[in-house]
Amino acid sequence: MEHKNLQIEAVNLKFAEEGRKFSGYASVFGGVDSYGDTIMPGAYKQTIGNRERPIQMRFNHLPGVIGKWTRIEEDEKGLIVEGELTPGHSKAEDAYALLKHGAISGLSIGYRPVKAVENQHGGVDLHEIDLVEISVVESPADMAAQISDVKSAIEQAETRKEFEELLRNAGGFSRADAKALVSRIKSLGHRNDGDPDNDSADMASIFQQLKL
């Protein structure tokens, strides 16, 4: 599953006067993100209308719901959502406090691309998306601890499978992209000195350069 964040200044976050209700944009159309990708108008039409299971509300894309989305619709700007955090849920209360304080980076979608066409920016134009969940995500400062955890995991990872899992879970890579990158790193390591024992060092070096 892939993720795309929307920074707080683009969310247009609004709160109801009572309860734990809020609304805003989980995604906007037309812009080119840091990966060179653009989400096109109409990308969510099929997933909104045909999805059998509800689209989950999560915190930092972690398993477990913290509330429910009561409205998910496309308009001319993007994907507008209205949600309600579950009262008394510990993680929901944390998310609500962060939202109210403005101490988060925004909202982020978890999705699988269905129809994507390569574009001139080095990424893809996403014409159809299978939307799985929408997360409230923390601020960059709050992500520092997670970055430290990732660096520790880099040092401990020794096998190809462990690096693939790390790419997928920490780096936001799809399964196919993670496998492709790990394979490429292995081939470069073999080309340089022919010693497969150096694969872990080569992979760790690449991770550090990617700043994961």
Q: Does the pLDDT at position 198 exceed 60?
A: no
Tokens representing 147 are 């970055």
Contact by Cβ (8 Å): 143, 61? no
82 has catalytic annotation: no
Q: Which of 105, 108, 135, 200 is catalytic?
A: 108
d(CA 91, CA 85): 9
The per-residue pLDDT for range 7-46, each reduced to its tens digit, is 666 667 777 766 788 888 888 998 888 778 899 999 999 9
d(CA 12, CA 112): 25
Q: Which of 2, 133, 138, 164 is catalytic?
A: 133
pTM (two decimals)? 0.63
Query: Mind listing the pLDDT tens digit for each residue in 141-176?
Result: 334 444 445 555 566 666 777 777 766 655 556 667
pLDDT of residue 199: 56
pLDDT at 65 over 80: yes
Q: Clarify whether 133 is annotated catalytic.
A: yes
Q: Identify whether 61 is a catalytic site residue.
A: yes
pLDDT at 124: 92
124, β-bridge pairs: 118
